[in-house]
Structure 1
Amino acid sequence: MSLSGHAPDATGSVDYRGFHTWYRVTGQLDPGAERAPLVVLHGGPGVPHNYCLAMTDLAGDGRAVVHYDQLGCGNSTHLPEEGADFWTVDLFVAELRNIVDVLGIGGRFHLLGQSWGGMLGPEFMVADGAGVQSLTICDSPASMPLWLEAATTLRARLPPGIQETLNRHEAAGTTDSPEYQAAVNVFYERHVCRVVPFPQDVVDSFAALETDPTVYHTMNGPSEFHVIGTLKDWSIVERLDQITVPTLVVAGAHDEAMPFVWQPFIDRIAGARSHVFPSSSHMPHVEEREDFTAVVGAFLREHD
């Protein structure tokens, strides 16, 4: 199934620390436009922008939508030789500031992050936040311990044979086995994307991840629910009260990001509000595309 977004009006790359960050723009980046541009932060870390292309629908009201591939994946510079000390939250926070400033939108833009992107977005707000009109957090945890608690809960609901396969390969360190990947897909079809077969944009992102899993394996781990990377103890819960921009938190009713995973965003960011898409899991922008565009688009217009 194909579910591609709108064709880009511009693509290019910007220099970042001697490497390059690739971007695409849907619409026109006009500093005087009524609608502030939207910058989309993809997940992973290390799962490139393709699966978020349905969000180009948000350009339908005259707003420019900027997607980019974070360093280490997609069309940006790959650095498979770099270790854990290189792949830090600070690296990606600084990359975001660099790209919005080079594109000339650093003084006024909306920020939307999906999954890991919804962890990076709040980190950016705490570290910097200049120019951000609003923050949208999609399908994201406020801490990885909460994420792992949800993953354990959902994993326990899988068929016993699937659970046995996952446990066996994780214990043996054979998570690259096709049998393990097949078992992982059972979880993914329930809690990551319930549009089966996966749309081409989602397939493209997963294929790119498989080609170079450096960032994902280093910071996350071998799967969505086996988190053994550098982010395993990450939390922003105690810093959320530093975020003061209008904030929308969205998730799917079947999301691997269960409600208690994102509830701290609502509890600790003043005025934050939430919306749950009833037929979606981790990708409401794909699974309930029109409703996602309507809900997020209305929020963005409210805060232009």
Structure 2
Amino acid sequence: MTETTGKIDFHVGEETFQTWYKLIGSLDSGKRPLVTLHGGPGVSHHILLSHIDLFKAHGIPIIFYDQIGIGESTHLRDKPKEFWTVDLFMDELDNLLSHFGVAGDFDLLGHSWGGMLGSQYAAQRQPQGLKHLIIADTPASMPLWEEAVGGLLAQLPVEMREAIKKHEENGTTDAKEYQDVMHVFYQKHVCRLDPWPEELLQTFAAMEADPTVYNTMQGPSEFTINGTLKLWSVLDIIHNIKASTLLINGAYDEAQDVCMEPFFKSIPKVKWVQFANSSHTPYIEERERYMKIVGDFLATV
């Protein structure tokens, strides 16, 4: 398996940052590449590394990258909140596609925040070379995400909910009590495997090392959204997505059906698959079935 890593210059105004990437396979293979968009915002590419299975099974070149602000890409802890926009990350994606020369023929997979980014990119910029779009475990609007996650939070015992509220109001989210409750929530609705695989642990470690992007755009947690994405929505533009689209979520997902349904109703060419034994990471929790479904989808015309 050929693996290439490197960094791409990304110009924003008069500043130059660097986007780190990992390419699995060769772009000269004749196979359309799959570009992956990790979630967060502000987690690292490690969370999606299981998609290497698609290269092993089908020879599909896979491009992973750390969006700026996280992982091996440029960290920008001192940038104001106005800097961290969806347009910034769409520009970074355009820059990456241009660097690899694949803008004319590529597939795109976005998980969670990556699906938010991918859906807005496909609907707003309408890239002509995008053939297949995969939107995994993603809300069509942040208010829908809050509705879904709020419902899941309400299922926790009252003492756990009170502990979450107390520590988030007091800014003590590093307290063991808070971390213990979050572990329970994550084990139910992020990944139901025990123990978690290494790539998931690496992802969370990267975010904990630099939570700038997550805290600025999302907020302190999955269910307290007070960042710049609080009112984010693509509800009014997703009908513009022209690429064949596959929707994915898990039965126990943070992205409950209410989050995904608008995509299904509005995107012209769309298919929706739900994983009965998964939460927010079906590509880890039901890996074999997931890769079969995604591989078959990417092989369609």
After TM superposition, the score normalised by the length of structure 2 is 0.96
CA contact (8 A) 1:8 1:24 kept: no
Is 2:90 the counterpart of 1:96? Answer: no
Structure 1 equivalent of residue 179 of structure 2 = 181
**Equivalent residue in structure 2 for 1:44, among 19, 40, 43:** 40
Q: Please say if residues 33 and 63 of structure 2, whose CA atoms lie closer than 8 Å, have aligned partners that are also in contact.
A: yes
CA contact (8 A) 2:123 2:239 kept: no
Q: Pairwise mapping of residues 220-259 of structure 1 onto structure 2 (< 5 A)?
A: 220-259=218-257
Gap runs ≥5 in structure 2: none
Kept in 2, the 8 Å contact 1:250–1:276? The answer is yes
| 1:301 pairs with 2:299 | yes
Identical-residue share of aligned pairs (%): 47
Q: Give the aligned residue type for 1:252.
A: G
Q: Tell me which residue corresponds to 1:13.
A: 7
Question: How many corresponding residue pairs?
Answer: 295
The code of the aligned residue for 2:109 comes to: L
Shift of 1:26: 1.0
Find the aligned partners of 1:260 and 1:205 in 2 and give their Cα distance: 26
1:29-51: per-residue Cα shift (whole Å, max 9, x none)?
11x60x21000000000101001
Question: Deviations for 1:228-261, whole angstroms, at most 9, x for unmatched residues?
Answer: 1000110001111111110000011110100011
Question: What is the letter of the counterpart of residue 7 of structure 2?
Answer: S
Equivalent in the alignment of 2:76:
79
Distance 2:189 2:69 in 1: 26
Q: Which aligned pairs between 1:99-248 and structure 2 lie closer than 5 A? A: 99-128=96-125, 129-248=127-246
**Runs ≥4 in structure 1, deviation > 4 angstroms?**
none
In structure 1, distance between residues paired with 2:223 and 2:217: 13
AA aligned to 2:122 is: M
Distance 1:8 1:138 in 2: 26
TM-score by length of 1: 0.95
Q: Quote how far apart the aligned CAs of 1:222 are.
A: 1.2
In 1, the alpha carbon distance for the partners of 2:94 and 2:142 equals 24
Shift of 1:161: 2.0
Are the aligned partners of 1:11 and 1:24 in contact in 2 as well (CA < 8 Å)?
yes
What root-mean-square deviation, in Å, do the aligned CA atoms of Structure 1 and Structure 2 show?
1.1
Which of residues 60, 65, 68 in structure 1 aligns to 2:65? 68
| Matches of 2:24 and 2:236, distance apart in 1 | 36
- 8 Å Cα contact 1:144/1:234 also seen in 2: yes
Q: 2:91 is aligned with what amino acid?
A: A
CA shift for structure 1 position 117: 0.3
Verify the 8 A CA contact 2:35 2:64 in the aligned structure 1.
yes
**Offset, 1:177:** 2.2
Aligned to 1:22: 20
How far apart, CA to CA, are the structure 1 residues paired with 2:205 and 2:171? 22
Alignment CA distance shift 1:271-1:194 (3 Å)? same
Q: Secondary structure at the match of 2:97?
A: helix
What one-letter code is carried by the residue in structure 2 that aligns with 1:184? M
- Cα pair 2:168 2:220 within 8 Å, conserved: no
2:128 and 2:193 map into 1 onto residues whose CA distance is 37
Q: Distance in 2 between matches of 1:74 and 1:50?
A: 9
